[in-house]
Amino acid sequence: MVDYIFSAAILVHFALLFFSLGFLARDQLILRGLVLIGSAFYILYYFNINDTPLWDAIFASGTMALINFAMICTLILERTTFAMNSDQSVIYQCFPTLTPGQFRKVMRDSETTTASGQTVLCETGHLNERLYLLVAGKAVMYKGGVEYNVPLNSFIGEVGFLNQSAASASVTAQTGAVFVYWQVSDLRKMMRRSAPLNNALIALFSTDLARKVERSQPMADTVKFAT
Ligand SMILES: Nc1ncnc2c1ncn2[C@@H]1O[C@@H]2COP(=O)(O)O[C@H]2[C@H]1O
């Protein structure tokens, strides 16, 4: 018995333990991490079980472990803000419903620009081709004969985007305003390809809309003054 405990064969039982724990885990990262440890025990076993290591088995297990390791790195990158530069980390604050991985994907299709003069972003009654996020400077919204300053870190054009309708207001960015923008068609394509991303973006624009409604005044033509 003592001999068995100190033999190479015991390594298979450690591998079995880690694989079993891994397959019981629901979280993909934990599952893969435990399986990776299990693979390491298998490789040690194949190395020590004979006078000559079982190279074919070591190669097969090593290849699978390497693929698993690459996927673990991808998962960590998707779940963390690690490797985001400081500008991206700031913009990520405006995307609370997206995972870091989803955010990176969305940002790949975006452009960031600084208005060199007064720039019309949306015009009432016209379909928006772009959706904007104001990250610095000033943008003014014109609606119902009233001018409002668009709050920083707000989306512009999400109403038309969600409703597939024309812009409900005109918005002009002032000189020096910095905004990130996406082509509406690119965003729609991305959302069609991934249901989780679709849900995360709809939740995001809905939250942004709720914040705008919270700040807004009743519409002038529907106000009934209390006496
Ligand atoms: N009451 C409001 N408060 C804040 N932003 C608004 C308001 N009405 C319209 N907007 C923004 O102005 C944009 C004009 O185009 P959209 O209607 O597509 O989306 C609109 C919103 O992003």
Confidence at residue 145, expressed as pLDDT on a 0 to 100 scale: 87
Residue 35 near residue 68 (C-beta atoms within 8 A): yes
User: Is the distance from the beta carbon of residue 133 to the nearest atom of ligand 1 less than 6 Å?
Assistant: no
The pLDDT-based confidence of 227 (bands split at 50, 70, 90) is: low
Cβ(159)–Cβ(167) below 8 Å: yes
Report the SS3 class of residue 144. Answer: coil
Return the pLDDT at 215: 81
Distance CA 161, CA 104 (A): 21
Total-model pTM: 0.80
Pocket lining: 158 vs ligand 1, CB cutoff 6 Å: yes
Tokens, residue 144 = 């119902």
pLDDT in tens, 73-101: 999 988 988 878 888 899 999 999 999 99
pLDDT in tens, 119-140: 999 999 999 999 999 999 999 9
Q: How far is the CA of 155 from the centre of ligand 1 (A)?
A: 8
C-alpha 70/C-alpha 78 separation (Å) is 12
Select from 94, 171, 82 the least CA-distant residue to 125. 171
Ligand 1 centroid–CA 163 distance in Å is 12
169 C-alpha to ligand 1 centroid (Å): 6
- Provide ipTM, 2 decimals: 0.96
Contact between 8 and 45 under an 8 Å Cβ cutoff? The reply is yes
Instruction: At 60, list the tokens.
Output: 């097969």
**Measured in angstroms, how far is the CA atom of residue 192 from the centroid of ligand 1?**
24
